[in-house]
Structure 1
Amino acid sequence: MDTLLRRQSTEQGAQGSTPRPPRMGRWAVARRQIKNGWQLYLMLALPVIYILVFQYWPMWGVQIAFRNYNVVDGITGSPWVGFQNFERFIDSYLFWPIIRNTILLQGYELLATFPLPIILALALNYVRLRWFKRSVQMITYAPHFISTVVIVGMLFVLLDPRTGMVNNLFGIFGIEPVDFMGNPDYFRHIYVWSGAWQGLGFSAIIYLAALTSIDPALHEAAIVDGASKLKRMWHIDLPGIAPIAVILLILNIGSILSIGFEKVLLMQNSLNLQTSEVIDTYVYKVGLQSAVPQFSYAAAIGLFRSVVGLVLLVVANQLARRFAKSSLW
């Protein structure tokens, strides 16, 4: 009897309730979303294809770092040698000088150029004369659009020991001409500060954009309390752009071994080689410029640099997350 009553109540409850729509599967939901926004997915497909073709597909060739590659046998046909190329680079007498030159040059550039765009952005943010602000922005942005070849050519012309403007100015004061480009002690300074001049204004754009997102009410309250411009910069502006600055710092630390060989190679000569030889220029020389190109050896050095850069990026991200409460991921 009890069983019959429970069955009847269950049937009555089922008749009175609203039937639930069938649950859609994950693929059905995905198809619906693609159908509704196919234009956006079509736009997204172009950069995805670009990344797959030009970023991921070339990774197939990374295996030549573990092979004794030759053009006749191809990538898969070349004999496998394991970590022999990496051991050869680490055991080389050039290993520590190249690593030291790379870290010192990139570290010097990071310490010297990282705070400059922040200072410029903070200064421009408080300029009230619109024409003056635009003029400063134009003057500081313009060098970014000069090619590296032209920049290095300008350096050679200005610093020439016989006809350069700098040495001619020294001659007026009775100072002996200085061979700046041939002295290894001057190489890092010339490289870093010419790069700071070229990229200062363009790098400040990011911080200027970040400053516009700060609530003006914070500045109004600080002005009412009698805070000076320096105190407002320190207590309002800098904390407001700190997350952006931390992210850029993490990215710079991750690429500390990836200087880019174009400018270094153009400024390099036999006289300043002891401070100008970095990983990228060494890879270029052994991989392409040598009488017998050593593709596997060059690929191993490049892969070593990338792995170290990845480790530095992860460590810097973890430290930033722990101490600055901001990170890439």
Structure 2
Amino acid sequence: MDNYILIERHGHAGGTCRQPEIVQYLEHCADKYGVRRRKKLWQVTTKSNDEEKQIFTRVAVAATRPLSSAAYPKDIPGIDTCEAVVGTGASAIQVVPEIQQMNVSQLLVFQRTLLWIVPRVDRTITQWEKNLLARFPIVKKFIRRSLYWSREALVLSFVYRWSLRFINQALVISNLEREIKDVELRRKVTATWDFECKRALISSDWYPTLQKPNVHLTHPVDIIVRATGFEAQQFALPIYGIDGCALAEQWSDTMKAYRAMTEPNFPNLFVLLGPKSRLGHSSVTIMLEAQLKYITEALLYTFENSLGSIEIKDGS
């Protein structure tokens, strides 16, 4: 397939992604597979520098991702003049440690929801390991599948209350007690529900940051950082199907889609990471690979059978 166009919010592969290693990988793939130079019958309207353009394509794949548009609180009196970090979720555990290292005199963090923190097991993959994986693909496959099934077993342990679930809860509590010695601060950050009733966060520098002398978990401040997450429950783009049917309206009561990708009234439209396909326990790459495989097979069937469009039946 070589007749397609890639539309990005930003000027590089990966869109809003900023993680250097991931961006480097995406740039490599874009060059390797010639993604940068592609053509144009869905109607897509783009706007850049106040100039609107319309693009017509036969098939549209919406890969906008759920975490691309920030969710800002607008109904709180004084929020525009508040100066602090608001939130202690996935956004906050990334920005707070970085701000603290900027030698600010005082950093105040406002917390609403308590969440369990899992230590991040992170390290640089050595060149020796890269050579090993390149030379012996079976080792790479074994490691990949081991990681996948360990994550799946974790989810099943929550559903069926296997002992693994309680072992993991004991481990995160042990990590909290080891990292935070101050009993009052530990009380402030200890979640009141079982592990993974809400999505856990992964960080090895969140607890140490909260104990720095210039960081306080609440009060008058100078700057506000709204670490309040993203508009994850709203689709990033206005999309209209047959007879002007709006995807947002069709999803207003319940967000659902066949295999999380296709909807009735929207022929030749595929949505990546659609309803109920956003993994919180494993690599989202696994889900994307499975969805892209399905999309590729659907398009091949469409083209090989000279079909003008492919659409899921209502009620599927």
TM range (shorter): under 0.3
Q: Answer with 1 or 2: which has the greater Rg.
A: 1
For normalisation by structure 2, the TM-score amounts to: 0.24
Return the structure number with greater helix share: 1
